[in-house]
Structure 1
Amino acid sequence: MIRKGLSYGWLSAQRRAREMMLPAVTTATGAFLVVIVFGMADGIRSQSAALGHADEIGRAVVLIAVTVLLVGVAEVAVATTRTVAHRTRELGVLAANGVPRAPVVTALLVEPVIAAAVGTFAGAILAVLTGVGLGIAGVVATGVSYGGLAVGTAIALAVSIVAALGTSAVPTWKAASRPPIRSLAGG
């Protein structure tokens, strides 16, 4: 039954691709920053060592990058809440026809996960291209670490998907838990 929820969620996400653009772009911005910071972490560390507080500055830079990524994911959560609010009749019809809560919640969670993943991949690809380009051009004196770019991509993807699921689970569960008559009457 969960597989049917995933299929329904995928079709819905395709239909609503335009509404997912802003959350994906915001997440891409955060992912770009996270990936580029991790790619340039060695250089940041060496430059901040000259200032005397290498560890603190390094942690602050990573914290700022992850915070920007989480702002993007918060936009995904807002979009999910808005989507759920607009789909109350649809949820009422599904519930009235006996569709269990789990596939409905699964279907509603597909959209934020796709928005977070697409945004993260777009931002990561742009960051890798930028990092490689800066490294080849010699603009970054300390160089760009390809391992750091890979680690940054993995961290950005994991954080964005987990955060999108975490922030979207409560509104989708509450919407799927409403009695069908209330969803159908309240619209």
Structure 2
Amino acid sequence: MITRGLAYGWLAARRRVRDMVLPAVTTATGAFLVVLVFGMSDGIRRQSAVLGHADEIGHAVTLIAVTVLLVGVAEVAVATTRTVTQRTRELGVLGANGVPRPPVVAALLVEPAIAAVVGALTGASLAALTAVVLAMAGLVGTGVSLAGTAVGAAVAIGVSIVAALVTSIAPTWKAASRPPIRSLTEGS
């Protein structure tokens, strides 16, 4: 039954691509920054060692990058809440037709998952490309580590997906738990 909910969610997401652009772009921006920071972290640590407090500076830079990524994920959560509000009547129809809560929740979680994955992959890819171009041009004094870039991409993609699903589960569960008659009468 969950697979049917996911299939329905995929079809709905395809219809609602425009609604996923802003969350995906915001997530991509955060992922871009995270990948660049991780890619340059070895060089940043070396340079900050000269100034002293290398570990603290490295942690602060990483914290800033992850914070920006989480802002992108927060946009995904806001978009999910907006989506649930816009689809109130649809949720009522599904509930009135006897569709159980888990497939409805799965269907509603497809959109934030797609926005997070597309955003994180786009941002990570653009960051890796940017890092290579900057390194080849000699514009990055700290250098760019391939291993750091790969770790940054993995962190950005993983954090984006997990955080988008975690922040989206509460509004989707709440919406799927409403009595169908209430959703049908309040829906727009």
TM-score range, shorter chain: over 0.9
What is the alpha-carbon distance in structure 2 between the residues aligned to residue 11 and residue 116 of structure 1?
Answer: 17
Q: Which runs of 4+ in 1 moved over 2 A?
A: none
Alignment of 1:16-95 (within 5 A): 16-95=16-95
Counterpart AA for 1:33: L
- The alignment's C-alpha RMSD in Å is 0.6
Matches within 5 A, 1:116-131: 116-131=116-131
Alpha-carbon distance between aligned partners in 2 of 1:166 and 1:63, rounded to the nearest angstrom: 20
Separation in 2, partners of 1:163, 1:143: 30
SS in 2 for 1:40: helix
Aligned mates of 2:100, 2:38 — CA distance in 1 = 43
Please say if 1:135 is aligned against 2:135. Answer: yes
Q: Which runs of 5+ in 1 are unaligned?
A: none
Shift of 1:140: 1.4
**Letter aligned with residue 3 of structure 1:** T
Q: Which amino acid counterpart does residue 21 of structure 2 have in structure 1?
A: M
Distance in 1 separating the partners of 2:10 and 2:49: 48
Deviation readout 1:112-140 (Å, 9 max, x if unpaired) = 01001100011001100100001111111
Output aligned runs, 1:156-171, within 5 Å.
156-171=156-171
User: 1:50: how far off?
Assistant: 1.1
- Per the normalisation by structure 1, the TM-score is 0.99
Identity %: 76
C-alpha separation in 1, matches of 2:70 and 2:7: 27
Aligned counterparts of 1:180 and 1:59: Cα–Cα separation in 2: 49
TM-superposition CA deviations, 1:46-74 (whole Å, max 9, x none): 11111101000000000000000000000
- Separation (CA, whole Å) in 1 of partners of 2:37 and 2:143: 12
Give the match's secondary structure for 2:139. Answer: coil
In the other structure, the counterpart of 1:15 is: 15
TM (normalized to structure 2)?
0.98
Letter in 2 for 1:138: G
